[in-house]
Structure 1
């Protein structure tokens, strides 16, 4: 993500609304604490730092997911990043059950280019993006195909989390590669063993003693 935003890491910002205190710790989590004297006052996690929200090739927010359980799902929070004079949590809402929306104001996003995704990518992924732009321009891919490539680029850059299916696919590839490597290694070992045997036979034919290591 944008390097300048990592200045916010390790800091927390709170906002009190009604009887609840919300706390946003960028790149860490979002918590909610009920400000009452009830014996079972709620205090919990509304989400843990997960991935960026990217819209129109621009960072627009942060997703905090896998919070405390809420009926059949986990609580999650989207933090909107908006320009402001100081770093502060400005607004909190719950647009749908257990899905929260926070507005975080910061001067760090006031520059028009401060949240562009492209400059944050490594050169190889920028080139991949350039190629996708060219393919789209030449009408060799559809808009949907272009978006798919961008999503893959963002996932590769670690800005978005790959779906579970992709993670499984990646693991399977890794496993098959390991098997392939072991198989190759085994073949190579057998080949070398044959070569050594030939050399030993050749040496013994000429009456030359072979001194191998103690494990031979």
Structure 2
């Protein structure tokens, strides 16, 4: 029955409600922080003690008397891994720094007589694999995603399946719609927006059509005018943009490198004006 997974999710979500949020956990990263979950599972080996707290984090404590013995976070709750309508594992990301990257862990849920952390390994550098045993997933259907969804999302999934059968969407579109559905259910995280480019650059921008390029250019031109207005209000001189043939085609003016340098030279001033 799917009741097992529903019970597991309700239990873990209830525990999460009394603990810190994902955002708080990402800021915290303090291993000695008192555990408020009360449902963590631990595994101790000769060298390390591991602790897995559902929807919170995974920690590792080195069991030695070295002055610099390591104790840290191997990952903070991020999202489920879903494949073939099945919960395949829990991803814990954004752990402590490790060789210019963050540590991360994947927790696999398997059938067991009791709730326990059964195995921990490091298949690749800074990436850990944990096995958590629980009787709640022993039924063959206990990890199916569909039964765990609310009715509205189940109906939405039904429509996606029907559209695929009617060849109204491609298999690629089908996968994209399902991922969006899982994101709306809170099982997957939406792709993070690209970080703002440094020094006013526009790295990585991709324009599929001339229209989208023109819209983006107009938006940037509007922002430049606003920044110029800010400089004028504060009596700061700047070099006026030089119109080029390409800007004439788009109907806007493009600033010179000197203008951009002046506009971005005092972020504190601009920040106080926004």
1:167-197 alpha-carbon deviations (Å, 9 max, x no partner): 99xxxxxxxxxxxxxxxxxxxxxxxxxxxxx
Query: For residues 147 and 68 of structure 1, do their structure 2 counterparts lie closer, same or farther at Cα, with a shift above 3 Å needed?
Result: same
Give 1:123 shift. Answer: 2.1
Query: For residues 159 and 166 of structure 1, do their structure 2 counterparts lie closer, same or farther at Cα, with a shift above 3 Å needed?
Result: farther
Partner of 1:4: 7
TM-score (normalizing by structure 2): 0.58
Partner of 2:141: 113
Match for residue 65 of structure 1 among 81, 93, 105:
93
Q: Per the alignment, in what secondary structure is the counterpart of residue 165 of structure 1? A: coil
> In the aligned structure 1, how far is the partner of 2:72 from the partner of 2:193?
30
1:28-73 alpha-carbon deviations (Å, 9 max, x no partner): 1100000000011000000111111111111121111111111221
TM-score (normalizing by structure 1): 0.73
Of stretches 60-69 and 2-11 in structure 1, the one that deviates more from structure 2 is 2-11
Give 1:18 shift. Answer: 3.1
Q: How many residues align?
A: 167
1:67-124 alpha-carbon deviations (Å, 9 max, x no partner): 1111221111000000111111111111111110000110010122221111222222
Q: Per the alignment, in what secondary structure is the counterpart of residue 193 of structure 2? A: helix
> In the aligned structure 2, how far is the partner of 1:162 from the partner of 1:120?
20
Partner of 2:242: none
Give 1:140 shift. Answer: 2.1
Q: Verify: 1:41 aligned to 2:69, yes or no.
A: yes
1:138-153 equivalence runs, <5 A: 138-153=166-181
Larger radius of gyration: 1
Of stretches 121-130 and 38-47 in structure 1, the one that deviates more from structure 2 is 121-130
